[in-house]
A = this chain, B = another copy of it.
Amino acid sequence: MRIEEMNWMDVEEYLQHDDRLMLVVGACEQHGYLSLLSDVKIPLALADAASKQTGVIVAPPMNFGSSPYFLTYPGTLSLKLSTLMDAMEDILRSAYGQGFKRFLVLNGHGGNSGLKIRLTELANQCSSLQVQWYAWWMAHSVEEVAIRHDLKPSHANWLEAFPFNIVADLPVGEKIPPHVPSDVIDAQRTREVYGDGSFGGRYRAPQETMAEIFDAALQDVLQLLKFQ
């Protein structure tokens, strides 16, 4: 259940028997032909599905992440990493103060990884705080599905083309991954390099494959929610 479907009395009751919370953080950034909010929608869908099975509640998503390299693609709305870290700290501390102790952060965007450092700093300060971090696209389980289907996972290619992210016709065929000159490139050059925004590979995969990917990630989430 999402917090937005609850009032505070519901949450108070929940805290009588559980202290887990799912936090979703993603990005509002270019995803080629896919939804600009793909990086939020995927982890949120995972959170919803996991919530249905476990009853663990889901906080409203942080709809913005750190994507300075994509700022030349209209619709990309990026936070400084320091802002994002402050925001997630404020949110986590709010919930921690109310009795939440175990947090699963479902991250949908690579540029947010620095958040783990801040979360560790928090874990050092807040006794009994436990944090799990899940970046679905980096999971072994997801990689295995991709390998089995001979597909290369990458930003804004088939890997993220879940039905709920499709907002336009996707190109047929495959894009040759461009040469990337550096790990740190400014937004101007990034657009020159990536053109339509996909990092290359096939633009879509059969729905069954997507379902397999989703299910693989969901199993991970369910496992992580055990906090073992």
Contacts and interface: CB of A to CB of B under 8 A. Distances in A.
B60 A35 contact: no
Size range of the interface on A?
Answer: 35 or more
Q: In the complex this chain forms, how many copies of it are found? A: 6
Contact of A124 (B12, B37, B187): B187
Given A63-B61, A167-B7, A15 B79 contact: no
B116 A8 contact: no
Interface of A: 3-12, 14-15, 28, 30-37, 40-41, 59-64, 66, 68-69, 71-83, 85-87, 90-91, 94-95, 97-99, 105, 111, 113-114, 116-121, 123-124, 129-134, 167-168, 181-188, 196-197, 228
Given A28-B3, A182-B131, A184-B119, A197 B60 contact: no
Chain A interface helix/strand/loop/mixed? mixed
Contact of A73 (B8, B181, B228): B8
B90 A80 contact: yes
A217 to B, nearest CB: 15
A148 B8 CA distance: 31
A90 B81 contact: no
A124 B71 contact: yes
A138 to B, nearest CB: 10
Given A85-B82, A98-B74, A184 B10 contact: no
B90 A121 contact: no
